Structure 1
Amino acid sequence: MSTVSAQVQAGRPEALPSGARVVVKIGSSSLTRDDGGLDLNRIDIMAGLVAGLRGRGHDVVLVSSGAVAAGLTPLGMERRPGELRLLQAAASVGQGNLLARWQTAMSAYGVVTAQVLLTAQDVAVRSHYRTVRSTFDALLSLGAVPIINENDAVATTEFNLGDNDHLAALVSHLVTADVLVLLTDVDGLWTARPGTPGAEPIRLVRSGADLEGVSVSGRGSAVGTGGMTTKVQAATIACASGTATLIASADDAARLLSGPRLPADVGTWFAPTGPHRPSRRLWMAYASVPEGRVLVDEGAARALTVGKKSLLLPGVIGVTGDFESGAVVDVVGPERIVARGICRYAAAELEEVLAARATGGPVPDHVAPVVHRDDLAELPRTAGV
C-alpha cells in the first residue's frame, strides 16, 4: 500500500494526504448566478484553489459542469430545456464560453489548462479507454490541469455517461486519484434533507453500513442534473476502488482546499472501502457496456463476492440478452448485480445448458468457467433513492 493510500484509509484525515492526486468536481448550480449566467467570481475562487493545490504538490483534475447552463442566456432560453436537440445546442454554445472563463481564471495563476470532452464511447470501448488514460497521464506529467466535461453536444439519451457525478467517479479511476471532491450546494450528507426537523450532518462514512436509514433522495437544481443520490452513488463507486471522497458545499471550498488543514466540521468524508484496482477491472466495472445478463443463485453470488471464486456453470440459473463469447455481461444475484465480467460462453450456449437441465436431458459437456476470476470485477452495493 502506498503512503498516500495508507493516509486516506485511516478515517477522516486532518489534511489532504501529502502528494495526493485530487479530482475536483463542481456542479452547475455552484457555477451559476440566480439569473442563470456563469458566476465568474466562483470560477476565479476555484482557479486560485486549484493553483494552491498544485503549489502544495498535488496533481489536480477538474470536472466542470455548466456547459448547458452557460449556453442558456446567449440563446435566449430562460430555463434548461427538456428536448435533446436544444440541450445539445445549449451545450455547443456554452462549452466554449465555459472553457474560456476557466482558462482566463487559471492563467492568472500561471496554470496551464487542457480541455478534455469525453463521450460514452471513449470509456466504453477498451482501446479508447486506454488512450484516454494515456492522455491524462501525459497532461498531468507535464503539469497541466485537465478540465473535463461530457461532450454533451453529441451525447444521446441512449448512450451517454450520465450525470457529472458519475463522470467524476470514472475520471477518478482513469487517473488513479487518491481523493475525489464533489462540490455542491449542500454541506455534505445529512441524516435527512437539510431543514427537516432533527436532521444532522454526517461527517464520516466508513462503509455502506453507515448509510443505513439515511435518506439521500431529492432532485438536482433547475440548471443541473444531479442530486445527493448521485453523489453518494459516485462516492460509493470511487471508494470501492481506493479513492476517498469528500462531498461538501462549494461555499466551503476555500476552507477545505486552501490548506493545510482539513476542517472536521465541513462536508462528508467517505473513506475508501477497497484498494486501487488494475485499469482493466475498472474498465469492466464502470466503463464497459454490458451486452446481457447472467443470473446466478445465492450460492454462486456468495462464491463470487465472499469466496472470490470464478463463476461456474452449476451456479447459473438464467440468461438474458443475445451475446457472443467474449462479451461483457452483468452477473445478477437474487438481490442485485454483484459483478461484471467477460463471459466465456455465448448466450445460446448457456441457454442450451439451462434447457437440458430443465428437461432432465443430457447436459452439454462444458467445463470452462462462465466468467473466470481474472475477467471479473465486483460491483459495490450503491445507495438508492
Structure 2
Amino acid sequence: MVRSFVTEANRVVVKVGSSSLTTAAGGLDADRVEALVAAVAGRAGSLVLVSSGAIAAGLAPLGLTRRPRDLATLQAAASVGQSSLVHCYAGAFGRAGHRVGQVLLTATDVIRRTHYRNARTTLERLLALGVVPIVNENDAVATQEIRFGDNDRLAAIVSHLVSADLLVLLSDVDGVYESNPRLGPASMVREVRSDADLDGLTARGTGAAGVGVGGMATKIDAARMAASGGVTTVVTSAANAAAVLAGEEIGTVFHPTGPRRPSRLLWLAHATAPEGRLHLDEGAVAAVVDRRASLLPAGVTKVEGDFSAGDPVDLVDPRGRPVARGLVEFDSVELPGMLGRSTMDLAAERGPSYEREVVHRDDLVLLLTRR
C-alpha cells in the first residue's frame, strides 16, 4: 500500500548524514551525491535538503585522517568542506535541471524572533523561485552547534520553519531497530505513535563510516521533536530515498503527537540548555501556565545563574519544578532589583524601557501543564 501522507505532501524536508555522502577517510563520494540527488530531484520546488558532510568533506583536502577534536580545526574543515559540498550539489542538481541555494543557520537564527523571521522569509523565497535550499549548520563559525553535533534536530526545526508536511531522515541504517542490527538479529520498529513504542530501545553511536556524530539516538530525538509539532517523520537509509519518497512502506514512521507550533519554540523546548532559573510565586505560575501570559517581574521571587538578555532560562514553581522555558529580556545582574515590582513602578523609576515583560509569552514554551 502506498503511503498517501508521503505522496500527497506539499512540502518535504530531507536530511542526509555525513556517512551517506562521504568515505570513511573523508572527502565527498560523488557517486553517492549523484544517487541522492536523482532520488530527491523529483520533489524540487517543494524540497528543502538539510545536508551534513561539510566537516567530513574537508578532512581529505586538509590531509586529516579522522574527525578532529579541537574546535579551530573543526571550523577549518567545515570551511574547506562546505564549498566542496555545495559545489557538488550544484552540479548534480544542475544536471537534473534545478538550481540550489546555500543556507547556513545557527541556533540564533531559529530562536530569536527577528532572525527567525529572516530565515523563514529566505527559505520561502528560495522555494517560490524554484530553488532547492541546501541547509547546514554554520559550522565554520559556530561553537555550541559543533559540540551539539548533528543536523538531525536542525532538520526537525527546519521542517517547522518551512511548514513542511513530511520530514525524511536518511542515514546508513534502514530504520529504527530495537537494538543494533550490526551486532545481531534485531526487530525494526515500524510505527511510533507515542514514547511507549520506543521503550527498551538501545540506539546510540555514530554511523558506520565513522565520520558523523549523530547516530540513531539523535534521529529518534529529532523525529520525536518534529512529531510533537505535527510533522510526520520517516527514518530510513539513503539507499531507500527514492522508494520512501514514492510512498513505499519502508523505514520507521513517527506519527504526529501534537499540533503545529512555531519552530523556534520547538527548538527552545527540545534543543537548548537553560542558562539560569527564575523562581515564580503561585500567581505567576498560574498566569504563565494556565493563562499562557507573559512573565512579569512582580511574579519572580528569586534569580539563579549568570545569563544575558536573550538567553534561555527555566521558570520554576515554588517547589522547584521547571514549568516553562523562555528567552529572558533582562540580564541576571538587572533582575534582582526588579523582583516583586510592577512594570509601571519600574518604568517610573528607571525609564520606559523597563515597562516590559521579563519573558514575553511569544518567547515562552511550557514544560509542564497543571491539572
Using structure 2 for the length normalisation, give the TM-score: 0.80
One-letter code aligned to 2:19: S
Q: Aligned to 2:248, which of 263, 288, 291? A: 263
8 A Cα contact 1:120 1:161, kept in partner: no
CA distance change for structure 1 residues 130 and 289 in 2, over 3 Å: closer, same or farther? farther
Q: Note closer, same or farther for the CA distance 1:164–1:297 as it changes in structure 2 (3 Å cut).
A: farther
- Mark the CA change 1:288 to 1:81 in structure 2 (over 3 Å): closer, same or farther: closer
Q: What's the CA shift string for 1:275-309, capped at 9, x where partnerless?
A: 2214664565468785422357999989977x565
Which residue of structure 2 aligns with residue 5 of structure 1? none
Q: Could you tell which deviates more after superposition, 218-227 or 320-329? A: 320-329
**Which deviates more, 161-170 or 240-249?**
161-170
- Corresponding residue of 1:21: 11
Residues of 1 paired with 2:83 and 2:14: CA distance?
A: 20
Alpha-carbon distance in structure 1 between the residues aligned to 2:286 and 2:192 = 25
Distance 1:46 1:325, change over 3 A: closer
Q: Specify which of 110, 115, 118 is matched with residue 128 of structure 1.
A: 115
Q: Hey, what does 1:276 align to over in structure 2?
A: 260
Match of 1:184 among 160, 163, 171: 171
Are residue 232 (structure 1) and residue 220 (structure 2) matched? yes
Please state whether the residue corresponding to 2:50 is helix, strand or coil: strand
Match of 1:98 among 85, 96, 115: 85
Q: Summarize the alignment of residues 183-262 of structure 1 with structure 2, pairs less than 5 Å apart.
A: 183-196=170-183, 199-221=186-208, 222-257=210-245, 259=246, 262=247
- The residue type equivalent to 1:200 in the other structure is S
1:353 Cα deviation from its structure 2 partner: 10
Matches for 1:342-357 after TM superposition, within 5 Å? 342=327
Partner of 2:68: 81
Match of 1:340 in 2: 325
Give the Cα separation in 2 of the matches to 1:326 and 1:98: 33
Would you say the 8 A contact 2:284–2:299 is kept in 1?
Answer: yes
**How far apart are the structure 1 equivalents of 2:162 and 2:195?**
24
Partners of 2:14 and 2:50 within 8 A in 1: yes
In the superposition, relative to structure 1, how do residues 345 and 126 fare at CA in structure 2: closer, same or farther (>3 Å)?
A: closer
Gaps of 5+ in 1: 1-11, 355-363, 381-385
Q: How many angstroms apart in 2 are the aligned matches of 1:302 and 1:245? A: 34
Q: What's the CA shift for 1:343?
A: 5.1
Displacement of 1:117 in angstroms is 1.5
1:16 aligns to what SS in structure 2? helix
- CA 1:130–1:104: 2 relative to 1, 3 Å: same
> What's the CA shift string for 1:20-40, capped at 9, x where partnerless?
211111001111134433221
Of all paired residues, the percent bearing the same amino acid is 52
Whole-Å Cα distance in 1 between the matches of residues 176 and 284 of structure 2? 35
2: CA distance between counterparts of 1:327 and 1:119?
A: 14
User: Which secondary structure does the structure 1 equivalent of 2:75 belong to?
Assistant: helix
Aligned to 2:32: 42
Structure 1 residue 160, shift from structure 2 partner:
6.7
Distance 1:161 1:134, change over 3 A: farther
Which amino acid is 1:294 matched to?
Answer: L
Q: 1:350 to 1:33 in 2, by over 3 A?
A: closer
Shift of 1:244: 1.4
Please state whether the residue corresponding to 2:181 is helix, strand or coil. Answer: coil
Q: Deviations over 1:236-264 (max 9, x none)?
A: 1111212111111112112212x2xx222
* Partner residue in 1 for 2:41: 51
Spell out the pairing of 1:88-167 with structure 2 (5 A cutoff).
88-157=75-144, 162-167=149-154
- After the TM superposition, which of the residue ranges 192-201 and 344-353 deviates more from structure 2? 344-353
Does structure 1 retain, via aligned residues, the 8 Å contact 2:25–2:59?
no
Aligned positions, number: 352
Which stretch shows the higher mean deviation, 364-373 or 328-337? 364-373
Per-residue deviation, 1:193: 1.8
Question: Does the CA-based 8 Å contact 1:124-1:288 persist in structure 2?
Answer: no
Q: Check conservation: 1:323, 1:346, Cα contact below 8 A.
A: yes
CA–CA distance in 1 between the matches of 2:103 and 2:152? Answer: 16
Q: Alpha-carbon deviations, 1:294-343, whole Å to 9, x = none? A: 357999989977x5655799997864224578864223578985532245
CA distance in 1, matches of 2:21, 2:338: 55
2:364 to 376, 382, 385: 376
Greater alpha carbon shift after TM alignment, 60-69 vs 149-158: 149-158
- Local SS of the residue matching 1:72: coil
The Cα of 1:188 is off from its aligned counterpart by 1.5
Amino acid at match of 1:130: R
Pair 283,190 (structure 1): closer, same or farther in 2 beyond 3 Å: closer
Deviation at 1:43, TM superposition (A): 1.0
Deviation at 1:133, TM superposition (A): 1.0
Cα contact 2:230–2:260 (8 A) shared by 1: yes
| TM-score of the aligned structures, taking structure 1 as reference length | 0.77
AA partner of residue 233 (structure 1)? D
The two structures, once aligned, show a CA RMSD in angstroms of: 3.7
